[in-house]
Amino acid sequence: MIIQPRASAPDAPGDAPGADLPRLPRRTARERDAAFLFSPWHLILIPIAIAMLIPMVWMLVTSLETLSQTRHFPPELLPHSVRAANYTDVLRQAPFARWFVNTMIVTVVTVAGNLLFCSLAGYAFARIKFFGREVVFILILATLMIPFQVVMIPTFLIVRDLGMINTLGALIVPNLAGAFGIFLLRQFFRTLPVELEEAARIDGASRLGVLFKIVLPLSGPVLATLAVITFLWTWNDFLWPLVTIYTPNNMTLQLGLTTFQGTHQTSTNLLMAANVMSMLPVLLLFFLAQRFFIRGIATTGLKG
């Protein structure tokens, strides 16, 4: 995976977040009313929306069909009966709950680790003048340009020497801190008014106290953005789990899905039900925190 830091600093406090859902161009009331009811753009947008939604709707429909319904040509677009038991069948036939818990553990610990370690490091690079700061920061930034495939083989060897192959630790430890998170938080911390922090220092607060009591409480949106992006990347990661995990009990959802697909190739209805379930947490988070997803995706350009 490669992350390109964008040139602009992430949202300054109180500023309009540039990467949020864009505000729409202003129009006169009459124009607006007319366009609101019908605009020729609907003729373009409706087909686009259908094309984007059909794969997901078709998956959902299939996940509620019987096996024989899925083996029907022409396909049954509106099945006359609904078979919700596919979902319980999946849970019975594969350690799906286990994969879910594994993925949850890996994701939550990775997100927490990134928030903590990137906050600490980001603050040090933003505010504390220490020996070697510039060199180390540039080195860290340089790692952003390295494709994951270049480090994959030696990282595998390192993780193996640490005895972590085929454990969740292999998925967690190498990803507990990332160059992108440090960069994102450093850029944000530098936009905060330094006077607040200096005043607290004069009042006797420690560096750690300043970070946790003053800086981080002001950094809610940028921390949420980092959390959501780390969540998304960890939840959806495939190549690294594929390399390091080989027993079903230790697999994550993405890896589990591929083994499930291998053994249930012909049970399309079960496969679709499994797929729907694997998406639910990310979809749920997306609809709860759409703002942070959009902002995170726009500032990082990060997917999978």
Structure tokens, 225: 């953005």
Rounded to a whole number of angstroms, the minimum distance from the CB of residue 249 to another protein is 19
Rounded to a whole number of angstroms, the minimum distance from the CB of residue 87 to another protein is 15
Report CA-CA distances (Å) from 261 to 72, 266, 279, 283.
20, 9, 15, 21
State residue 266 phi and psi, 5-degree precision.
-90, -15
Nearest to 229 by CA among 181, 187, 277, 183: 181
Nearest CB to another protein, comparing residues 57 and 82: 57
Nearest CB to another protein, comparing residues 249 and 290: 290
Nearest to 105 by CA among 281, 262, 259: 281
Nearest CB to another protein, comparing residues 105 and 282: 282
Rounded to a whole number of angstroms, the minimum distance from the CB of residue 16 to another protein is 9
Rounded to a whole number of angstroms, the minimum distance from the CB of residue 34 to another protein is 10
Rounded to a whole number of angstroms, the minimum distance from the CB of residue 235 to another protein is 7
Structure tokens, 220: 């809610």
Q: What is the 3-state secondary structure (H, E, C) of 137-205?
A: HHHHHHHHHCCHHHHHHHHHHHHHHCCCCCCHHHHHHHHCCCHHHHHHHHHHHHHCCHHHHHHHHHCCC
Nearest CB to another protein, comparing residues 9 and 156: 156
Nearest CB to another protein, comparing residues 41 and 195: 41
